[in-house]
């Protein structure tokens, strides 16, 4: 009697999840103490990763996912409780500009222009800084650099301004 009552209470909150082949889902990752996942440790690590496409339904409550090569060591069939439906949103899509990569998979950043100047006063000294916009970055990601260093390493930036 008590068990059936508890079951009915639990069933009121429970929702049956069903996905179709081709749907995209997030995969739950469980945090473990002291284990770094995706470059972040502990409670700041992501709860879900993805989205991944469902390849097929395996049984009533398990789904086979199309995992990327970096997750090749992970079994690709998951219980429905570890999945969350991905709802397409245009805000999730990031636009990027292609970056020229070297053979060692690194890239070079160079200053594009100087956006601003500022002189900081430190006791009896005045230290000039310039706000530099870098390649592959937006103007809001510009950094403050020592003017002396920038003049020495990138003199072409100051030819038209001085």
Q: What is the CATH number of the domain that holds 8?
A: 2.30.30
Number of H helices, E strands in the chain: 2, 10
Peptide bond into 110 cis (omega under 30): no
Distance CA 54, CA 76 (A): 10
Q: Please check whether residues 40 and 77 belong to one and the same domain.
A: yes
Q: Is residue 37 in some structural domain?
A: yes
Q: For residue range 3-16, what is the model confidence (pLDDT) as tens digits?
A: 888 888 777 777 77
- Give residue 132's domain range: 111-157
Q: Please check whether residues 50 and 123 belong to one and the same domain.
A: no
Distance CA 129, CA 141 (A): 16
Distance CA 130, CA 146 (A): 6
Q: Do residues 122 and 129 lie in contact, with contact meaning Cβ atoms separated by under 8 Å?
A: no
Q: Please check whether residues 64 and 119 belong to one and the same domain.
A: no
Q: For residue range 47-66, what is the model confidence (pLDDT) as tens digits?
A: 777 788 999 998 888 999 98
Q: For residue range 15-27, what is the model confidence (pLDDT) as tens digits?
A: 777 788 888 888 8
Higher pLDDT, 60 or 96: 60
Q: Is residue 120 in some structural domain?
A: yes
Domains in the chain: how many in total?
2
The pLDDT assigned to 35 comes to: 42
The pLDDT assigned to 43 comes to: 59
Distance CA 109, CA 132 (A): 12
Q: Please check whether residues 82 and 8 belong to one and the same domain.
A: yes
Specify the pTM.
0.47
Q: Is residue 6 in some structural domain?
A: yes
């Amino acid at each position: 009697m008590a068990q059936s009552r508890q079951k009915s209470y639990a069933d009121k909150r429970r929702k049956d999840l069903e996905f179709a082949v081709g749907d995209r889902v997030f995969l739950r990752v469980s945090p473990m103490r002291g284990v770094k996942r995706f470059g972040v440790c502990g409670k700041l690590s992501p709860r879900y990763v993805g989205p991944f496409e469902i390849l097929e339904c395996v049984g009533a409550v398990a789904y086979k996912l199309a995992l990327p090569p970096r997750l090749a060591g992970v079994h690709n069939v998951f219980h429905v409780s570890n999945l969350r439906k991905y709802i397409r949103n245009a805000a999730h899509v990031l636009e990027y500009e292609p970056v020229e990569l070297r053979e060692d998979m690194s890239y070079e950043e160079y200053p594009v222009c100087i956006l601003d100047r500022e002189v900081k006063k430190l006791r009896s000294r005045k230290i000039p800084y310039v706000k530099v916009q870098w390649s592959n970055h937006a103007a809001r990601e510009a950094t403050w650099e020592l003017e002396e260093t920038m003049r020495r390493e990138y003199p072409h930036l100051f030819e038209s301004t001085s």
